[in-house]
Amino acid sequence: MSDTKIEEIEIVKVVKVFERKVWIESCFLGDKHIMIQHLGLPDGDTEPFEIATVRYNHMYNGNSSIWAASEKIAVMHGATEPVERKHRKMEFKP
């Protein structure tokens, strides 16, 4: 017989779920970056952040397969279909 004690788990009630915006950014290398931003927080919206990246390599995958994978990941994180697509801006700093 085990001496392991089982602790009681406190039940909580969710009172508010903050809205999220989820989209995909494509960079000049062909990679797809799944972006997420939390909206409506008391201190204002959060900065967008990258939740995942699907890498492009012409020897192993094609654009349609990485778009499909990226869209599935975006939907898993709350995006609605059709998933918004954007081009990532290139920034050059001297």
Alpha-carbon distance of 5 to 11, in angstroms, equals: 19
pTM: 0.76
Backbone angles phi, psi at 21, to 5 degrees: -110, 130
pLDDT tens, residue by residue, 64-73 = 999 999 999 9
* 9-13, 45-49, 89-93: least confidently modelled range: 89-93
Structural domain boundaries in the chain: 20-85
Is the pLDDT assigned to residue 88 strictly greater than 60? yes
- The arithmetic mean of pLDDT across residues 64-85, rounded, is 95
Position 92 confidence tier, pLDDT thresholds 50, 70, 90: confident
CA nearest to 24, candidates 62, 92, 78 = 78
Instruction: State residue 1's pLDDT score.
Output: 56
Distance from chain centroid for Cα 20: 10
- Chain segment 43-66, per-residue pLDDT in tens: 888 899 999 999 999 888 888 999
Distance CA 7, CA 10 (A): 9
Give CA–CA dist 45/26, Å, rounded.
23
